[in-house]
A and B are shown apart, each in its own frame.
Chain A
Amino acid sequence: MSTTVNPGNRPTGYLPEGADINRNIAARRLRGKVWQAFFLSSLIIGLLALATLLYTIVDDSFGYIAVQTKIDPEKLSDRPLEELSKEELIEILRANISPGLFRRFDRDEPFSERSKESVLQLIEERVIGREVVAAYKLTESLLERDRIEATVRERFPRAELEFHSWINREFLTRPMSSSPILAGVGNAILGSLWVIAITMLLAIPIGILGGVYLEEYASDTWYYRLIETNINNLAGVPSIIYGILGLAVFVRALEALTSGATFGVTDSNGRTILSAGLTMALLVLPLMIINAREAIRAVPQSIRQASYGLGATKWQTVWHHVLPNALPGILTGTILSMSRAMGETAPLIVVGASTFVVFFPDSVFDKFTVIPIQIYNWTQQPGAQFRSIAAAAIIVLLVTLLLLNATAILLRNRFKRSY
């Protein structure tokens, strides 16, 4: 043994003697320590990367912003704007924008029909015109407050410095906007929920029954082996290929169905929530089947035999005994597939998620956007403020995924059975 582990090039069959033994052992121990340090540090590098990732996200989502307004709101009225009546607000608007612009707004939607909130919004956008002229990261804001204050005073004398959390209630409820400070993920969250709902509606039953087939019904035939190999390989197909499949089949070939034309919807093409949900269902199906199989396989044979022994049929055994016992495992797998579908971006880009959707979807035939698509879109935009809202959207996504996974782990521990 010692010959093979000896450092250096001593002849084969050499055994250390005397003081050499100690030196040999010391050298081997040292090598052990050095490599142990390498193994540990590779683990630490992985954990460090995770920490840095989280730090970058948090660093971008909070920090000082310098806000500048075209006009001080207090100059418009001596009372706060929210307390004014609609008529007073319209007067303020008329006095502060050009008559042409005022007429245009009136043409778009007559002021007599507009709500007070919509007039207030116009005043905020057109008259007050709150605009972020500079944004800073969290670490800068905490450590270099004086420098930031000096720069802002010098470059934007009228601007006010305030600490801003990019993730806030408005961000969660507002739709997309071209201005970062007004943009939100409200409709993207709703879009994600719609897509996930369709995906799960299809993938859960088909996935579980597919798993039941492979574990309970199939015998070792050529088509069983074909299906099995096929499912394992499908799980390894890149997600963008599923997007291509969805584009060709759901968006294009079945456009009449997925655009809703068959059901009397005319104002849309095949790039809808339905197409996205169907594509995602195909994507998570192999994962669902593999997870369901594992859960079903973990149910001990004795339970099945006891059921058969009492005269139950195959389906009675599966339905009343195997599936209830496999349920915790299946549920865990379902949640994990769901979180996969939640974070998947590439197939939805190909299927045609729209990056600029300002309305909230209310049917499966609507155009849609989802949270990851918004993150992709905002990350691509130049400018620190878009980075900040991208980071805020990432926090929304990661918190959702964390909650889902925590639920999965809780369920697993809660219903874990040992036989």
Chain B
Amino acid sequence: MNPMEQEVRVGIERAAAVGGSAINLRGKRRFGEHIIETIVFICGALSIFTTTAIVIVLFQEAWMFFGSPEVNLTEFFGTTTWQPETGRFGIWPLMTSTLLTSFIALLVAVPLGLGAAIYLSEYASPTARGYLKPILEVLAGVPTVVYGYFALTFVTPVILQGLLGKERVEIYNMLSAGLTMGIMILPLVASMSEDALSAVPRSLREGSYGLGATRLETSVRVVVPAALSGILAAVIVAMSRAVGETMIVALAAGAGPRFTFNPLQAAETMTGHIARISGGDISYASIQYTSIFAIALVLFFMTLLLNLLSGWVVRRFREVYE
């Protein structure tokens, strides 16, 4: 064995000895990795805490509310007067105005939003779409309190009172709040529907053109049905947004519960009532304080139901291509 060879062998042995003790690929993971994994998990799971806290808080205070001698469930869901001062708690006046304003909003936002989405996705050139879609999305970024200002200073006095006459339209009215809310959720409907329409593969359109269909026929009979799940989900999300919207109705729909189906009259919605009551100085022991939690609980479940429904619609009716 020459010296050279021996040196190499010693080197190999030494390396093996060192490697065997320090680099053990089957060893345990570093301790720090465990800590980090725990921290990261906690951050993800914190959202569970938020939901749990919301549910606990709402149920706890609502329990106090329904437990008090002045209230019972049949009165809450069965009568049509909400007058905390006289101890009358029937949620229907708040509920009907919420539903009426949301319905008006959808009446504006769904046809216009869908129309805008079809135009952007099927008619507009890519350049035009590149400019128009972000501008439309600016509308979605405007804070809702600004829309409330708009409803009160422009939609009611200029448009509604201008068209229908001052004596028929009250200064605070549900129609104005509903119309403005419709403008607010229009970009949401348009943007989500446009995403759904753009996701429909080109081959479907070309097949339709090949059979001699016009652009309209292709859009309405081929592309829209193919994207229907996405469009439906957009409508449901928009509805949930309208039901939970606060600032527009707080400013424009009126400050006082009233059981009416006339959109030209003032009537307070659930969110508007919560904002007005909690904005004032109320004592934590009063029944008014607990009553806003009962309203919030109803509101929470309404929007939760709508959100779950939209997720279900997407999963159930999605058409998968390729």
Contacts and interface: CB of A to CB of B under 8 A. Distances in A.
Interface in B212-260: 212-217, 220-221, 237, 240, 243-247, 250-251
A60 B183 contact: no
A280 to B, nearest CB: 13
A391 B143 contact: no
Given A5-B217, A49-B183, A401-B143, A241 B43 contact: no
Nearest to B242: A238
A5 B39 CA distance: 60
A339 B215 CA distance: 39
Contacts of B271: 238, 240, 346
B299 A241 contact: yes
Nearest to B310: A236
B51 A31 contact: no
B46 A394 contact: no
A398 B271 CA distance: 24
A248 B299 CA distance: 17
A305 interface: no
A25 to B, nearest CB: 9
Interface in A246-270: 247-249, 252
B132 A394 contact: no
Contacts of B93: none
A379 B152 contact: yes
Contact of A40 (B123, B183, B243, B304): B123
A231 B47 contact: yes
A210 B213 contact: no
Contacts of B54: 237, 241-242, 244-245
A380 interface: yes
A227 B303 contact: no
Given A237-B304, A379-B153, A350 B275 contact: yes
Interface in A35-61: 35-36, 38-43, 45-47, 49-50, 52-53, 56-57, 60
Contacts of A352: 278-279
Interface in B8-35: 29-30, 32-33
B149 interface: yes
B36 A285 contact: no
Given A244-B296, A289-B47, A345-B144, A313 B183 contact: no
B44 A213 contact: yes
Contacts of B48: 226-227, 230
Nearest to B152: A379
A350 B153 contact: no
A29 B246 contact: no
B265 interface: no
A236 B300 CA distance: 10
B149 A218 contact: no
Contact of A387 (B29, B60, B153, B278): B153
Given A5-B213, A29-B214, A212-B40, A343 B143 contact: yes
A39 B58 contact: no
Given A39-B116, A42-B111, A46-B136, A390 B50 contact: no
A144 B320 CA distance: 61
Interface string A367-409: 0000010011001100000010011001001100100010000
A245 B56 CA distance: 10
Contacts of A232: 307, 311
B187 A1 contact: no
B135 interface: yes
Contacts of A226: 48
A249 B51 CA distance: 13
A342 B299 CA distance: 24
A209 interface: yes
A379 B251 contact: yes
B113 interface: yes
Query: Binding site of A, secondary structure by majority: helix, strand, loop or mixed?
Result: helix
B37 A53 contact: no
Nearest to A238: B244
A4 B150 CA distance: 45
A346 B47 contact: no
Instruction: Give the residue among A229, A241, A315 with the most B Cβ atoms within 10 A.
Output: A241
B211 A397 contact: no
Interface string B301-313: 0011011100100
B246 A47 contact: no
A53 B146 CA distance: 9
B293 interface: yes
Given A42-B111, A238-B299, A346-B271, A394 B146 contact: yes
A206 interface: yes
A276 interface: no
A31 B40 contact: no
Given A1-B211, A379-B251, A394 B112 contact: no
B3 interface: no
B99 interface: no
Contact of A43 (B136, B141, B247): B136
Given A226-B48, A375-B145, A376-B251, A209 B116 contact: no
A28 interface: yes
Contacts of B153: 56, 60, 379, 387
A391 B36 CA distance: 48
Contacts of B29: 313
B177 interface: no
Contact of B307 (A206, A233, A380): A233
A238 to B, nearest CB: 3
Given A39-B119, A343-B144, A349-B275, 8 more contacts: A39-B118, A43-B132, A45-B112, A46-B112, A210-B47, A216-B40, A234-B50, A372-B145
22 contacts: A28-B214, A36-B123, A36-B216, A42-B111, A43-B119, A47-B135, A218-B44, A227-B48, A232-B311, A234-B50, A241-B299, A241-B300, A242-B54, A243-B274, A245-B57, A313-B30, A349-B250, A349-B279, A352-B279, A379-B145, A379-B153, A398-B142
Interface of B: 29-30, 32-33, 36-37, 39-41, 43-48, 50-51, 53-54, 57-58, 60-61, 111-116, 118-120, 122-123, 132, 135-136, 138-139, 141-150, 152-154, 183, 186-187, 190, 211-217, 220-221, 237, 240, 243-247, 250-251, 271, 274-275, 278-279, 284, 292-293, 296, 299-300, 303-304, 306-308, 311
The 5 tightest CB contacts between A and B, nearest first, are A238-B244, A343-B143, A42-B115, A213-B44, A346-B246
